[in-house]
Every structure is written in C-alpha cells, then in structure tokens.
Structure 1
Amino acid sequence: MILRPRPGVLTLFFVLRHSVIRKVWPMVLGVGVISTVIVTLHRTAPDWVPAVNPTPFSLLGIALSIFLGFRNSAAYDRWWEARKLLGAMVIGVREIGRATHILPDPGLRDWMLLHLVAWIRLVEHQLRGAEGPVALPVPMPARPIATRNPAEAMLQEIGERLATEAREGRLGEIAWVRLDESLGLLMNAQAACERIKATPVPFGYALLLHRTAHPYCFLLPFGFADLIGWLTPILSLLVAYAFFGLDALADEVEQPFGLEPNDLPLAAIARNIEIELQAARGITDLPEPLQPVDGLLN
C-alpha cells in the first residue's frame, strides 16, 4: 500500500514513483506517435488519410468508460472487502486476547495465544502465495488438512483443545462458547480471504476491455485529425493514459493480497496481530510494527 504525504497540485502532474504510468507508458507513447503520424499524413496527404466522422468514437468512448468504470468498481469492491476481513481478524484476535483471561489454566492461555501467532503467520504465507517454510513458534499439527490448508489446521487444533478442556470439566461452558465464537470469526474471515484470492474477476471482462480499448485508442486520431488538428496527439495521449491506466490499476487491486504498490499491507497487518497476541501473553519485548519503505507498506 502506498503511504506518502499527498503532493501539491502541480507536483501531482510529475509524480512517477508508484504511478501506473511506469506500466502503461509504452502503449501511451505508441498512441501518441501514431496520432502524430496520422495528423501529419492527413495534413500532407489527405487522399491517403481522409477525414472520418468522430461521432462513432464519441459513442464508443462513452460505452468503454462505463464498462471500465464497472470493472474498476468490481476490483475495488474486492480490495475493500479484503481490508474489512483483515480488520475482522484484528477484532477477533483482540476479543480472544481479552477473553482468555477467564481461562483457569495460565498454561492453556499461553498455548492458545502462541498457536494463534503461528496461525496468523500461516495466513499471511498462504494469502501471499509465498513459497518455502514458515517460521512457527509451535509444531505444525499432524492433520490431513495441514498439507492443503495449514492455517485452517492450526485453528482446528485450537478448537479441539478447547473442546477437550470443556468436556473434561477444566473449562466452563460459558468460557468455551465465548472463545469458540471468536475462533469461528477468525475461521470465517480466513475463508472469505481465501475466496477472494481463489476467485479472480472473470477473465472475459479483461479480454473484452483489451479487445476494444486498444483499437479504440489507436483509431481515435482518425476521427479527430480533421476536427482539432495538432491537438489530436494530446487528446489521444490523455484518453490512452486514462483507459490503460485504469485498466492497470484494476489489475493491481483485484488481487489485494499481492505485492503491487496498491495492494493491501498484509505483512504489516499480520505483524500488528502478532504484536497483539504477544502482548496478551504478557511479553514485553514485542516485535516492532512494520514501517513504510520508500512510501510503500507491505
């Protein structure tokens, strides 16, 4: 996630760091070059490049704008839902940290909180799609589901331990129900995050947008070369930057758990959750929260 002071009005026009212009500038520049060539040919050899009625381009531009707005809204909805789910995890962890004070056994309380530290590390690892082992403070539970979904296996381990304590009379029913509900909140939030990660925006939307927006931007100069003359390359550049830039931005935010500049700071949120859990254990030497590096917080 980009975290930086908002530049001034004039400075905004020249900001390159973390801007989508780094991704789309070759296509935008190509549109500008083609526009310049078309206007030049229209001025010097109008028989080769005749004037074209601009009305169809205006109508198609409106349709493309509506469609592009829909795709960006769908991508942002996924981003915002993912952020709310991560917030629900923070709430659930704080509730558990507070509720574990009613546990009669300090050892059980420490065991549970330490397993939740392992759980949030596994959640971060799975949502980011990272490879390699994860440093865990407790052993991985020996469960069949652990090979497919280690984070879920960790929550099941905690839930079964609490259920065993309740069955054997070492944990009151009210305390068990309260903790079990909080674990259910964490499991639901994790499952919803996995749904977002595993279900991208349908590929047909991106395909349709690329098949219409690119030809539109490259053909646009034909419709305005005669109408606005040498201003056509500037208009084409602005339209291309808007269309290609919004498309690139939607590609980033539709997968909110990635490492793109506009993705969610999953590692920072996971670190904050771990700090909450370690503080609930009574640990004083807590890890430091992650800080932005060059304006980016991961």
Structure 2
Amino acid sequence: MISYNPKEWITFLFRFHKADTFRKLFPLILLIGFYSAAVAYLELEYWDLPEDSRVKNLSIMHGMLGFVISLLLVFRTNTAYDRWWEGRKLWGALVNNSRNLALKLHAILDDEKDRAFFRKIIPGYASILNKHLKDEETSKQLAEDIILPVDHHHHRPNQVAKMMFMRINELYKNQKITGDQLIILNSEIQSFTDICGACERIKNTPIPYSYSVFLKKFIFFYVMTLPFGYVFSLGYFVIPVVVFIFYVLASLELIAEEIEEPFGHDANDLPTSKIAENIKKHVEELI
C-alpha cells in the first residue's frame, strides 16, 4: 500500500508513480490519439463533410449517454471501494481479536510453555491468512516447536485454528482453565475463522463478468464515436480532448479493478503483511 501525504498537491501533479493509471494506459492513449487524428483528417480534409452534415448530430448521443456512463462508473468505483474498506475493517478486527485473546491468555495461563505456544501461534494465524489470501506457498514450520504439515488440499488457516482450539481443549482437560474460561476463549478463536471466511468471500466473489465486460465495451465504443461528432466544433483539437476523456473514464475502471480485490500485490492493496507483523509484535508484548 502506498503511503503518502494527501496535502502535497504539487507532488501529485508532477510525479508519476509506478501504479499511476497513465503508465498502464499509455499504449491505448497513443492508439486513441492516432485514431482521433485519422478520423479528424478524413472528416476535415478527405471527406470534406459540410457543416450541416448529420454526423455532427452524434454529439447529442454523447450528451445523453454521458449521464448513463457516469452512473455506471460511480456504481463501479463505490462497489470496489466498499470491498477494499470491508477488507481493511476485517483485518482491523483481526488485530483487535488477537490482542484480546493474548490479554485473556496472559491473565489465565501460568505455565510458560503454554504461553510460549500461544505467543507464536496467534501471530502465526495472521501470517498464514495473509499468505493464504495471496495464494503464496506456506512454509512447513510456523515457528520453533510449532510444526504445521502443509497440505495444499486442505484449508491452511483452518489447520492453525484447529491447533489453537486443540491446545485450549487440552488445557481444559488438564484443568488449567475452567469451563467458563473455555467458552470465552472459544469465542475469540471462532472470530478468527469468521474473519477468514469474510476475507475469502471478498477474494472469491469478483464483480459479475457480464457487468465488467459491458462497462469496458461501453467506454471503448463511447470514446470511439467521440471524434465523429466533435471534430466539426473542435477541429484537430479533438485529438487531445478525446484522449483526455478516454484517460479519465478508463482510469476510473482501472482503479476499481485494482482495489476490488484488496489482498493481492498491487500498490494500492491492503498492507496485510505489515498488519501481520504488527500483530506479532503486540502479541509478544502481551503474553
């Protein structure tokens, strides 16, 4: 995730970050520019269309469809941002739940061996979940004395949660914790699985294919018809105007695509690795 100062306007205007949409769209921008130049040349020089040509009325269509495309893009970006923000809230909840579990275990457990286990397994869950959501290979050893045999045909975060609950149940059988304490700790471990399931829902349920394809086609054909209608009033200035309109519309779609799945490796995705490291630091301070 990119860290920045939102008050530095000058920096934003004259710096192109590697995640900037202009870099990604540059080949298409060139193509749209050449296309607009070709249409402008054909209409002004080759076809020599008169001022009262019906082609000039295409701008009426653009005015009507401009409202429609703006509504579609607003819905698209808001939906994508909601997914990004929900992912951030889920990982914030994971931070708080990890702290709460560590606080309760610190007060309940007396055996240093038991404390050491949870000191490593709680942040281990966040680390495994981070890798699970990024589809990364998970190492077989989470930490010293905690071995997780990785079976890629099984759910890896669930394996860690199972280890935690089995240890909690073992403490109950050995009468190191009471039944009431077992219920309290069980609810904390259950919240980990709830967070994992919600993150998987975001990751595995993208925007419907037909909607995404339709919006891309809509933007493309809308921009492709712009030079035909506006060349009469703008002349060759239609080239930068069409390029700019394409850049704005396509950038909104690109931004939505990037943030709708917030657990990947894109520049604007959530810093889940850093959050997992913070969980490790906080748990080690508490237990």
Tell me the distance in 2 between the aligned counterparts of 1:141 and 1:11.
48
Q: Which moved more, 1:153-162 or 1:164-173?
A: 164-173
**Correspondence for 1:56:** 61
Quickly say closer, same or farther: Cα 1:170–1:13, change in 2 above 3 A. Answer: closer
**What residue ranges of structure 2 are gaps of 5+ in the alignment?**
none
What is the one-letter code of the residue matched to 1:22? Answer: R
| Aligned with 1:196 (options 171, 196, 202) | 202
Whether contact under 8 Å (2:125, 2:157) holds in the other structure is: yes
**Correspondence for 1:287:** none
**Correspondence for 2:4:** 4
**Correspondence for 1:79:** 84
Deviations 1:118-164 (A, max 9, x none): 2222111111111363551110169xx87421111111121122123
Whether contact under 8 Å (1:113, 1:278) holds in the other structure is: yes
> Is 1:140 aligned with 2:145?
no
Find the residue that maps to 1:136 and give its secondary structure. Answer: strand
**Correspondence for 2:284:** 278
Quickly say closer, same or farther: Cα 1:133–1:189, change in 2 above 3 A. Answer: same
The equivalences for 1:49-198 within 5 A come to 51-53=55-57, 54-101=59-106, 102-131=108-137, 133=139, 135-137=141-143, 138-140=146-148, 147-198=153-204
TM-score by length of 2: 0.89
Identity %: 28
**What residue ranges of structure 1 are gaps of 5+ in the alignment?**
282-298
**Correspondence for 2:240:** 234
Quickly say closer, same or farther: Cα 1:129–1:48, change in 2 above 3 A. Answer: farther
Quickly say closer, same or farther: Cα 1:153–1:123, change in 2 above 3 A. Answer: same
Tell me the distance in 2 between the aligned counterparts of 1:14 and 1:30.
24
Tell me the distance in 2 between the aligned counterparts of 1:272 and 1:135.
20
> Is 1:205 aligned with 2:206?
no
Deviations 1:4-35 (A, max 9, x none): 23474444333211311111121122222222
**Correspondence for 2:31:** 30
Whether contact under 8 Å (2:141, 2:147) holds in the other structure is: no
TM-score by length of 1: 0.86
**Correspondence for 1:13:** 13
Tell me the distance in 2 between the aligned counterparts of 1:134 and 1:209.
43
Find the residue that maps to 2:86 and give its secondary structure. Answer: helix
Tell me the distance in 2 between the aligned counterparts of 1:179 and 1:132.
26
Deviations 1:46-91 (A, max 9, x none): 4469543111011112211211211111111110000000000000
Quickly say closer, same or farther: Cα 1:65–1:211, change in 2 above 3 A. Answer: same
- Kindly state the Cα deviation for residue 169 of structure 1 after the two structures are TM-superposed: 2.2
Tell me the distance in 1 between the aligned counterparts of 2:153 and 2:258.
29
What is the one-letter code of the residue matched to 1:70? Answer: F
Whether contact under 8 Å (1:124, 1:270) holds in the other structure is: yes
Q: RMSD over aligned Cα, in angstroms?
A: 2.1
**Correspondence for 2:269:** 263
Tell me the distance in 2 between the aligned counterparts of 1:37 and 1:56.
21
- Kindly state the Cα deviation for residue 95 of structure 1 after the two structures are TM-superposed: 0.4
Count residues in correspondence. 279
Tell me the distance in 2 between the aligned counterparts of 1:231 and 1:12.
26
Whether contact under 8 Å (1:146, 1:152) holds in the other structure is: no
**Correspondence for 1:284:** none
Normalized per residue, which structure has more helix?
2
